[in-house]
Amino acid sequence: MPLWGFLLSFLAAAMWAASPIMVNYGLAISKCSIHEVNPFRAAVFFVTSLIIALIYNGGHITPVTSPLIYFYLFAGVSAGYLLGDLFYFIAIREIGVSLAVPIANGYPILVIFTSWILLGEPVTMKLLWGVVVVVSGILLLRFGGEKIKEPDDAADALHNKRRLMKGFAFAIATGCFWALSAPMTKLVIITSGLGPVEVTFYRSFAFLVISIVARIVTVKYRTTATIPLRSVRPAAAMYFAAAAFIGLCLGSIVYAACLVVMPVAIVTAITATSPLIAALFGHFALKERLLKLQWTGIVLIIAGSVAVGI
């Protein structure tokens, strides 16, 4: 495995740490719902991926006609970008960047299982140790925080507890869907023979189609949960666009390039170091307070995720 593959994996981790922070900023200043995020992300992701693919391939993009490849594309994108990221944004809204990002990024543990089932990649004895370490880290994040004085109102206290549990549940669900998406991307690369840039373009196309369909369904059946896209503040739209360019476009190209020369489990283990970057930003920039036990939990999640893949 080449050194540049490891370095690019860490670069992808940094990009993926920055992306949800940008989305969180956009949601905060616009007061829009999470349902307005994906249309902006999908459009920017598609346009930038198309431009990069055309430049990289000299104006030509290899056509894909295999139904199986499109199945892998749409299944992986639906699991990762639609459901996984949707739950991710909900988790960040409920419990903040510093907690949601580390929990969700414990997903390499699950990637071991999905890669074994879908790709036949081996499962080693280190898996059990990694599971114990990651779960220990999640428990420290959940129960190692500062004891907040309960509100006098019992209803408010119950609401706060439910919100915390809801955030943790959505963060864990995020990891599950991301774990399903990772080997699907590898299957696209294996079955199509496409390079990282073209794979990213086709993933952006799938995401655009899925986002359009999801937006139509959401507006029709959950009207009160959405606002018109034209009502989203330009500054928020810029944050969503920047998040898409850095996290989805560039991050996906770098990630796909790593998958060409490295096993899925190793790449996802390295990229799982992004929680530390996000937690540091959440602590210093967003003033999200974490105690020593919770920082220990973040380190354990990263250590366990990395260890199972190396």
> How confident is the prediction for the chain on average, in pLDDT?
81
Q: Given pLDDT bands bounded at 50, 70 and 90, which one contains residue 69?
A: very high
Residue 236 has pLDDT above 70, yes or no: yes
Residue 73 has pLDDT above 90, yes or no: yes
What pLDDT is recorded for position 252? 77
| CA dihedral sign, ordered 58, 256, 194, 71 | negative
Nearest to 105 by CA among 24, 178, 34, 164: 178
- Who wins on pLDDT, 286 or 222? 222
| CA dihedral sign, ordered 81, 110, 22, 139 | positive
- Residue in the block written with tokens 């330009």: 234
**Angle at which helices 196-221 and 67-77 pack, to 10 degrees?**
60
Tell me what the mean pLDDT of segment 44-70 comes to: 92
Residue 247, class by beta-carbon neighbours within 10 Å (0-12 exposed, 13-18 middle, 19+ buried)?
Answer: buried
The CA distance from 131 to 305, in Å, is 8
Residue 4 has pLDDT above 60, yes or no: yes
Residue 262 has pLDDT above 70, yes or no: yes
Give me the phi and psi of 262, to 5 degrees please: -135, 150
Tell me the DSSP string of 175-218. HHHHHHHHHHHHHHHHHH---HHHHHHHHHHHHHHHHHHHHHHH
- Who wins on pLDDT, 209 or 257? 209
Count of alpha carbons within 13 angstroms of residue 244, beta-carbon side: 25
Tell me what the mean pLDDT of segment 232-259 comes to: 86
- Residue in the block written with tokens 């590898």: 186
Nearest to 86 by CA among 207, 183, 182, 202: 207
Tell me the DSSP string of 241-260. HHHIIIIIIIHHHHHHHHHH
The CA distance from 101 to 41, in Å, is 19
The CA distance from 265 to 156, in Å, is 42
Task: Please tell me the least confidently modeled range out of 102-111, 194-203, 208-217, 301-310.
Answer: 301-310
**How much of the chain exceeds pLDDT 70, in percent?**
80
What pLDDT is recorded for position 214? 92
Tell me what the mean pLDDT of segment 237-243 comes to: 91
